[in-house]
Amino acid sequence: MVAEDNLIAPPSKSSIENGDEDLFDSECDIFDGEWVRDENRKQYYPPGSCPFLGRHSFECYKNGRPDDQYLQWQWQWPSVQTNARCNNIPRILNGTDFLERLRGKKLVFAGDPLNYNMYASLSCILWNAVPDKSRVYPLPRNTEFKSRGDFSLIYEDYNCTIAFVWSAFLVYESKKDRNRNVLKPERDVIRLDVIDKLESSVYSDADVMLKAYKKGLTTWRKWIDKNIDSNRTQVVFRGYSETHYVKILEKTLQKMKTPVLYLNVSKLSYYRADAHPSVYAKNYTIQERIAALGHQDCSHWCLPGVPDTWKELLYISLLKAGKGTFGSRN
């Protein structure tokens, strides 16, 4: 789905006249804060209810996790006591409003399994906000887009697509020939100087694009600046969970001509080791779960869970950027 150029417009004059430009002041850092215990925190979708998680490791509830304590934490940034400019920022994600702002658009997550975690989180949040859930469905499996290991959901009532494109390295990765001569070993090759053409063809016309990274940030930066029209596409970059990548990432973003929203979720995620699948990545038997203690899943996240907080911060960041429909505040 290709967006029309006029879908991206400047913030409405009325919102500026009403003083809404102060609502998202640059002095308020929503990524700096603390996790606060909230026994009454309501999840965006009930555990075990979302049909798009399947048997994935994110399904901690269906995989037998007995506790829900990890769901009762709310990320809280500075309030009126420390920074008055932070006080009016919405602290929850309005799924219906998000869908309205995405009407007629395509939002693409491109990257590794952590970005698939994000894709699944947003898909479930928006799915639960739709009254007629039969109007939310995936693309047929026989399409090339689906067969490559990618995923796409159509929200028909909003003419909106939420997609995930598998691109672990961002750059071109050659594949071994299964029929090759075993006497002539063939190496996998990662071209750090070339963007994967097949993957990039899916997200080059997106309205909102989120990327994770492992290698080739410089190549990715140059490709974005050359191929992405910032008047119609908002690029968002999720920070890597490991903080030692932050300086490399920030230097790369500083060199970019294309405006990029940076979701700096490294710090807040670091605090939440309790929210990983651990030994509940699969629906193990008791014996299998004991055996799994030696290789717990400590990289992905349970859903519902921490990635839903990432979505809150994404929603707020898009409103703060104020591009197109995200600049029209009611």
* Boundaries of every domain in the chain: 34-171+259-326
Please provide the average confidence, as pLDDT, over all residues in the chain: 76
CA end-to-end span of the chain: 27
256: tokens are: 């970019």
Question: Any residues with CB less than 8 A from the CB of 214 and at least 6 apart, and which?
Answer: 112, 168, 169, 170
- pLDDT, tens digit, 9 for 90 and up, residues 156-193: 999 999 998 877 655 444 454 445 444 444 444 333 34
Question: Any residues with CB less than 8 A from the CB of 269 and at least 6 apart, and which?
Answer: 241, 306, 310
Q: Are 312 and 92 in contact (CB under 8 A)?
A: yes
Which among 225, 212, 38, 30 is positioned nearest to 111, based on CA atoms? 212
Which among 179, 124, 175, 125 is positioned nearest to 149, based on CA atoms? 175
153 or 53, which is more confident: 153
- pLDDT, tens digit, 9 for 90 and up, residues 279-328: 998 888 888 888 888 888 888 999 999 999 999 999 999 998 888 888 86
Pair type for strands 234-238 and 260-263: parallel
Bond preceding residue 304 cis, omega within 30 of 0: yes
Q: Identify the band that residue 269 occupies on the pLDDT scale cut at 50, 70 and 90.
A: very high
Q: What's the whole-model pTM score?
A: 0.78
Sign for the pseudo-dihedral over CA of 38, 268, 113, 206:
positive
Q: Are 129 and 98 in contact (CB under 8 A)?
A: yes
Q: Are 252 and 223 in contact (CB under 8 A)?
A: no
310: tokens are: 């990432």
